[in-house]
Amino acid sequence: MEERDPGTPARRYRKLSVVVPVYDERNTIVEVLRRMRAVRLPDGLDLEIVIVDDGSTDGTREVLSQLGDSTVRVVYHGENRGKGAAVRTGFANVTGDMVLIQDADLEYDPEDWPRLINPMLSGKAEVVYGSRFTGERRNMLFFHWMGNRFLSLVTNVLYNTTLSDMETCYKLFDRRVIDSLTLRADRFDIEPEMTAKVLRRRIRIYEVPISYAGREFDEGKKITWRDGFSALWTLIKYRVVD
């Protein structure tokens, strides 16, 4: 897929599929699901939520067993395989023509969904990212901020773009874009892999501001500085291979 011609009519989307990778989020998953169900979507757009439990051991699985309904499906991994593996499993199970990733903690607010959806409904984009650095937010620790900004800078240099937040969880895709990507990452390197492969296909990413309430490690945050090195290598690797 290549960059959309501005004169091309907007595609009519009928279903938003939301992929929710979950690992040991017993304390937040019910509230996140409540917020997702409460979002008022544009008329004519149905909602599908696909939760992927990635081998939780803290009681999350027992909570999830009570949450499935006509809108929510739960898929289980037998063991912990990583966020990337959970996202890929979610992509394999969605049925919508618009696909969004939603983390299972409370860092990202589903009330921001319409901000991401609107550029796609109006035909402005096939991929939309929610930027944590252009909207209202709870300030993150300096080294987290620096790491995120550095990885976005590397992305911009390598792929000739101007992203402010490559590592954001909020990534919304036209389903056809997802189907065109061969994703391999099992862990947090899924974020740079998706970005690199979208940009290599000359698909321009549209950014919108979102709110953000970042957690720290004592609140359950899982990504570490080691994942930053993996992200950097992923960006470099996929600049030359697919």
Give the model confidence (pLDDT) of 64-105 as tens digits.
999 878 899 999 999 999 999 999 999 999 999 999 999 999
Residue 9 lies in a domain: no
Domain count, the chain: 1
Residue 26's domain comprises 15-240
CATH number at residue 216: 3.90.550.10
Map tokens 């901000």 to a residue: 115
pLDDT digits 0-9 by tens, 134-155: 866 555 665 576 778 899 999 9
Question: Over the chain, what HEC string results?
Answer: CCCCCCCCCCCCCCEEEEEEEECCCCCCHHHHHHHHHHCCCCCCCEEEEEEEEECCCCCHHHHHCCCCCCCEEEEEECCCCCHHHHHHHHHHHCCCCEEEECCCCCCCCHHHHHHHHHHHHCCCCCEEEEECCCCCEECCCHHHHHHHHHHHHHHHHHHCCCCCCCCCCCEEEEHHHHHHCCCCCCCCCHHHHHHHHHHHCCCCCEEEECCEECCCHHHCCCCCHHHHHHHHHHHHHHHHCC
Query: What's residue 103's pLDDT?
Result: 95
Residue 84 lies in a domain: yes
> 129 with 210: CB under 8 angstroms?
no
> 100 with 113: CB under 8 angstroms?
yes
Query: What's residue 152's pLDDT?
Result: 93
How many other C-beta atoms lie within 10 A of the C-beta of residue 173?
A: 26
Residue 191 lies in a domain: yes
Residue 215 lies in a domain: yes
> 131 with 112: CB under 8 angstroms?
no
Residue 198 lies in a domain: yes
| pLDDT of 220 higher than 80 | no
pTM for this entry: 0.89
Residue 1 lies in a domain: no
Residue 105 lies in a domain: yes
> 190 with 227: CB under 8 angstroms?
no
Residue 3 lies in a domain: no
When the pLDDT of each residue in the chain is averaged and rounded to a whole number, the result is 89
